[in-house]
Amino acid sequence: MAAPERPAPAGTTASPPPHGAGAGDPAPGGGLVRSLTHRQTTMIGLGSALGTGLFLGSGSAMGAAGPAAIVSYAIGALLVAVIAVLLGEMSAAHPVQGSFGVIAHRYLGPWAGFLTRWTYWFSAVVVIGTEVVASALYIRWWWPGVPMTAAILAVAAVVLAVNVINVKSFGTTEFWLSTIKVTALCAFILCAAFLVFFGLPDVGGSGFAHLTDDGGFVPHGAKSIWIAMSVVMFAYAGFEVVAIASAEAADPQRTIRTAMRQLAWRLSVFYVLSITLVMALIPWRRLAAGDGSVESSPFVRVFSDVGVPAAATLTNLVVLIAAVSAANAHLYGASRLLHSLADDGLAPAPLARLTSRGVPAAALAASTLGIAVAALLAFYDVGGIFGILMSIALFAVLLVWLLILASYVAFRRHRDAHPAEFTGFSVPGGPQLAVVAALGVLGVAATAIEVPDMRQAAGVGLAFTAVLLAAYALIAVRRRERS
């Protein structure tokens, strides 16, 4: 493990490898512009995390664990809350371009920074493809005759256009998309709660009988709660974009400190409460039925099944916005880390170029690879596209989380040894929490033992990791030869 270099006090950014930064305009390393506001950055985090994992993928979790999927979501919320707060502490101390990838470079060694950034880029690219596939499915809910490939490409054009203008335009668009999504989700929760407790004029409230009257609350046994985690954790991926956005935030320390804490409790409430209400309204077996084709969201089916078709149409519009918003945010995060890699000479040099508006257009284009793959799979009518992409993305995200947690332990070791170098908040018992969270992440990865899609994803993920490590070794050898 490489010895960490001395970081600057919080509120500034040191000049570690790969790059340094100042606290003001422009953002660190390569001309990115600090124009994202505190509210925009917070909503970007919600936009990336509240996507298909909740609105579409939740059907898979319900099928795996029945009503006990609620417990899986609660455990997932707790695990992500810990990772988010720990990442927030590190990112507030080092709001640099490349975010947690650069922090891993500093505290674990260059190999870790290389692996973290490339793995996150890979996971984000796959997630973008997943979100665009989901968007196409929502469009086909209205117009089944629209070819899947055409729907995917139409959504891709919108997402790419929003990102390529400038970061301020992206931040404004994502803020409003996320605001619509969050507002609608709150409205859904209120409406669903009303139906649960009071019902409609001709239909009484459903109560919570559906949670226990079909095989009990844990119909497939306690083990199913663990198996469902293979789906559940994908729903929470994306909060890391807040840390990435700190390099273009006008006030990165304040943004990171508050945004990560808000994300932690908001995601917990949104996921656990909404999933509970959905399964209270509709028997879980019905929600999970036909999940292999993933033709509609459980959230849409709630209103269809209770006889409120107009509400179902509105809900489908909202989940479409949610998927587009998530794809939008993940494309932003992927392009920034790829630009960071190129800026450090760890990716092809053209990817480091910026437009006159400070946008890494080449990195953006390269990050649409997941959309191209999704369109190709759809064109050849490959079955189960959504499930395949979701599992591969989850495996990569789990590896990134492990590297973030390992970086945090090394970061805290240095921070505790040199407290005068740092200001700002510090998480009590952070290193111990990091170890517990790492065990939780490993537990989720272990579902590959039981879940076929996760086994397939693990094979792809491990092969990709091996390729990355070999590529880094080759780069390191060439740099030593040049020096």
How would DSSP label each residue in 263-286?
HHHHHHHHHHHHHHHHHHHS-HHH
Helices (H), 297-384: 298-305, 309-343, 361-366, 369-379
d(CA 365, CA 423): 38
- Torsion 104-94-27-248 (CA) sign: positive
Q: Is residue 117's pLDDT more than 90?
A: yes
Structure tokens at 229: 């985690």
- Residue 121: CB partners within 8 Å, gap ≥ 6? 334, 337, 338, 341, 367
Give per-residue pLDDT as tens, 290-312.
544 444 567 777 776 666 667 77
Q: What does the pLDDT read at residue 76?
A: 92
- Rounded CA separation 191/277 (Å): 10
**Which tens digit of pLDDT belongs to each residue from 196-239?**
998 877 777 888 998 998 889 999 999 999 999 988 887 787 78
Cis (ω within 30 of 0) for the bond into 110? no
CB atoms within 10 A of CB 480: 8
Largest CA distance in the chain: 80
- CB neighbour list of residue 299: distance below 8 Å, 6 or more residues apart: 55, 58, 188, 274, 278, 315, 319
Segments of 4-102 assigned E as strands? none
Domain 38-474 falls under CATH 3.30.390.50 = no
Most confidently predicted of 156-170, 347-361, 389-403, 427-441 = 427-441
Residue percentage of the chain with pLDDT more than 90: 24
- Cα distance between residue 180 and residue 184, in whole Å: 6
Q: Is the pLDDT of residue 252 over 50?
A: yes
pLDDT at residue 17 is higher than 50: no
The single-letter code of the amino acid at 72 is: S
The whole-number pLDDT of residue 294 equals 41
Q: For all residues of the chain together, what is the average pLDDT?
A: 80
Of the listed ranges 10-14, 156-160, 392-396, the one predicted with least confidence: 10-14
Do 117 and 272 touch, CB atoms closer than 8 A? no
Per-residue pLDDT at 408 exceeds 90: yes
pLDDT of residue 16: 39
Average pLDDT of the residues in 332-350: 88
Q: Are strands 199-200 and 203-204 parallel, antiparallel or unpaired?
A: antiparallel
- Look up residue 388 and give its two tokens: 């395949």
